[in-house]
């Protein structure tokens, strides 16, 4: 038989995102722009592929420092993998998924890709899969841009929420989002001598003037902490006046005192191997962000919304419901910042598939968080760590 009598057929294993035309199916964005980060998803059909006929794309954007930070994709219909990626990227953002058109999603991707270019930040790996979305410039009219911004932002429900989001964006030097919450003629860059900072804490007090509030903020700039006083006036829920009053540097010890809070911990012994605990073990673990450490795995569990921003006193990490640390030594350590939340974690574990293999051994209330200290200490057992910090208060572990 002559060689040219054979016909070469491309198998399904050769399918890729580049081997087919792409037909847009759907997209969404999280409405978390005012928190400074966004998760975006796009789904395309690949009609020319033989087997892998779907492309699921996940994008993570940071509006303050990192731009287009992360990209993941799933070729085909691996629902488990799609769920895992979605959880890891947007599970902790506390927002809702808002539908986008293809043009809107393409515009957002190009906006953050341009951020990377302007700040000399390399694009995430996988460029060959999303390069087609960058090739032809997407343009939107002013009304279309406003509609797109509305989709990305929650609507503040009270004055505290408006003020906290506004200051969060101001100190992050994210003036585009700050402008969305304020009148056009307001000067936003009132701290030009400082780079983007972290909005750690804020306390809001009404003044004698109508709809005017005095804000005392704890902000971290370049590993130093400052107490910042500002005054804000609202018209409805829109910032119509913004003034810088004072800024004062404080020590890390003073900042730690301002940020200190209780931590409630419940310790369990596992009768099964630590590997038997996974993201599928409990309902709350399914939505957790998982981080491996030298002595185990940390499951960070977030509240389903960002209601903490709407409080008179805002704290940075109050979006965290709690944590599970599953140690290689066979302990499950549940930790939360309130009694209500630690009870929710205990209830979650009690209803899990491995509940009969978990034996609660101790409950603690600490005046300040210690779980991260324990993880970084690389000690095997939590009770050993507690003995050391009780007998040697103030010493570094």
Q: Over range 291-314, report the average pLDDT.
A: 94
Quote the pLDDT of residue 20: 84
Residue, of 392 and 321, whose pLDDT is higher:
321
Out of 119, 152, 185, a domain closes at: 152
Quote the pLDDT of residue 4: 46
Confidence of residue 88 (pLDDT cuts 50, 70, 90): confident
CB 53 within 8 A of CB 21: no
Confidence of residue 389 (pLDDT cuts 50, 70, 90): confident
- Distance (Å, whole) CA 390 – CA 394: 9
Quote the pLDDT of residue 395: 53
Domain range enclosing 279: 260-391
**Packing angle, helices 102-118 and 142-152, rounded to 10:** 90
Asked if residue 194 belongs to a domain, the reply is yes
Strands (E) in 137-223, as ranges, are: 198-206, 212-221
Residues 253, 264, single domain; the answer is no
Residue 152: is its pLDDT beyond 60? yes
Residues 101, 175, single domain; the answer is no
- Distance (Å, whole) CA 63 – CA 72: 19
Out of 91, 124, 152, a domain closes at: 152
Asked if residue 1 belongs to a domain, the reply is no
CA angle 329, 277, 344 (to 5 degrees): 105
Residue 58: is its pLDDT beyond 80? yes
Residue, of 4 and 305, whose pLDDT is higher:
305
Quote the pLDDT of residue 17: 81
- Let me know if 72 is exposed, middle or buried by CB neighbors in 10 A (0-12, 13-18, 19+): buried
Residues near 193 by Cβ (< 8 Å), separated by ≥ 6? none
Confidence of residue 393 (pLDDT cuts 50, 70, 90): low
For the domain that residue 185 is a member of, what is the CATH number?
A: 3.10.450.50
Quote the pLDDT of residue 6: 44
Asked if residue 218 belongs to a domain, the reply is yes
Confidence of residue 9 (pLDDT cuts 50, 70, 90): very low
Q: How many domains does the chain have?
A: 3
CA angle 90, 91, 97 (to 5 degrees): 60
Quote the pLDDT of residue 1: 41
Out of 101, 127, 152, a domain closes at: 152
Q: Over range 301-326, report the average pLDDT.
A: 95
Contacts 24+ apart (CB under 8 A), 54-62: 55/17, 55/22, 55/129, 56/82, 56/85, 57/129, 57/130, 58/85, 58/86, 58/89, 58/90, 59/109, 59/112, 59/130, 60/89, 60/90, 61/37, 61/108, 61/112, 62/36, 62/37
Residue 377: is its pLDDT beyond 50? yes
Residue 182: is its pLDDT beyond 70? yes
Residue 181: is its pLDDT beyond 50? yes
Residues 176, 138, single domain; the answer is no
CA dihedral 379, 381, 386, 388 (to 10 degrees): -50
Asked if residue 8 belongs to a domain, the reply is no
Asked if residue 178 belongs to a domain, the reply is yes
**Nearest CA-CA partner of 91 in 372, 336, 328, 320:** 320
| Terminal C-alpha separation, the chain | 76
Residue 394: is its pLDDT beyond 70? no
Residues 241, 286, single domain; the answer is no
CB 342 within 8 A of CB 322: yes
Residues 203, 103, single domain; the answer is no
Q: Which of 10-14, 159-163, 184-188, 327-331 has the lowest mean pLDDT?
A: 10-14
Residue, of 374 and 7, whose pLDDT is higher:
374
State the alpha helices, DSSP H only, in 172-220.
175-180
Q: Over range 39-59, report the average pLDDT.
A: 94
Residues 222, 265, single domain; the answer is no
Residues 30, 145, single domain; the answer is yes
pLDDT tens digit sequence for 260-294: 999 999 999 999 999 999 988 999 998 888 899 99
Sheet bearing 263-270, strands edge to edge: 289-293, 296-302, 320-327, 331-336, 263-270, 358-366
Q: Over range 63-77, report the average pLDDT.
A: 95
Q: Over range 116-127, report the average pLDDT.
A: 97
**Nearest CA-CA partner of 307 in 319, 320, 315:** 319
Residues 44, 167, single domain; the answer is no
């Amino acid at each position: 038989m002559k060689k040219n009598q054979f016909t070469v057929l491309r198998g399904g294993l050769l399918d890729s995102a580049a081997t087919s035309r792409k037909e847009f199916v759907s997209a969404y964005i999280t409405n978390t722009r005012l928190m400074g980060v966004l998760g975006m998803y796009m789904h395309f059909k690949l009609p020319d592929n033989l087997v892998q006929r779907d492309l699921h794309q996940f994008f993570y954007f940071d509006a303050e420092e990192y731009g287009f930070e992360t990209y993941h994709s799933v070729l085909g219909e691996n629902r488990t993998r799609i769920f895992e990626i979605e959880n890891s990227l947007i599970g902790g953002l506390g927002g809702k998924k808002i539908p986008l058109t293809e043009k809107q999603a393409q515009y957002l991707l190009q906006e953050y890709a341009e951020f990377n270019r302007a700040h000399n930040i390399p694009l995430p790996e996988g460029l060959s899969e999303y390069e087609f979305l960058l090739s032809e410039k997407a343009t939107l009219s002013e009304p279309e841009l406003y509609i797109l911004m509305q989709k990305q932002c929650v609507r503040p429900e009270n004055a505290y929420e408006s003020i906290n989001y506004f200051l969060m964006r101001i100190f992050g030097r994210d003036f585009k989002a700050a402008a969305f919450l304020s009148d056009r003629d307001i000067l936003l860059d009132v701290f030009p001598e400082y780079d983007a900072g972290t909005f750690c804490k804020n306390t809001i007090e009404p003044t004698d003037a109508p709809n005017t509030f005095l804000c005392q903020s704890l902000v971290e700039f370049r590993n130093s902490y400052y107490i910042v006083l500002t005054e804000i006036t609202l018209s409805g829920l829109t910032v119509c006046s913004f003034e810088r009053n004072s800024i004062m540097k404080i020590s890390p010890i003073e900042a730690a005192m301002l940020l200190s809070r209780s931590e409630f911990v419940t310790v369990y012994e596992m009768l099964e191997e630590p590997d038997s605990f996974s993201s599928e073990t409990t309902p709350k673990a399914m939505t957790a962000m998982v981080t491996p450490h030298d002595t185990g795995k940390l499951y960070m569990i977030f509240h389903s919304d960002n209601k903490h921003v709407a409080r008179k006193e805002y704290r940075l990490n109050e979006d965290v419901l709690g944590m599970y640390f599953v140690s290689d030594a066979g302990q499950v350590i549940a930790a939360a910042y309130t009694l209500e939340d630690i009870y929710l974690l205990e209830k979650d574990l009690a209803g899990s598939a491995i509940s009969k293999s978990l034996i609660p051994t101790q409950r603690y209330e600490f005046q300040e968080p210690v779980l991260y200290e324990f993880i970084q200490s690389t000690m095997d057992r939590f009770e050993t760590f507690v003995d050391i910090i009780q007998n040697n208060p103030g010493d570094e572990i």
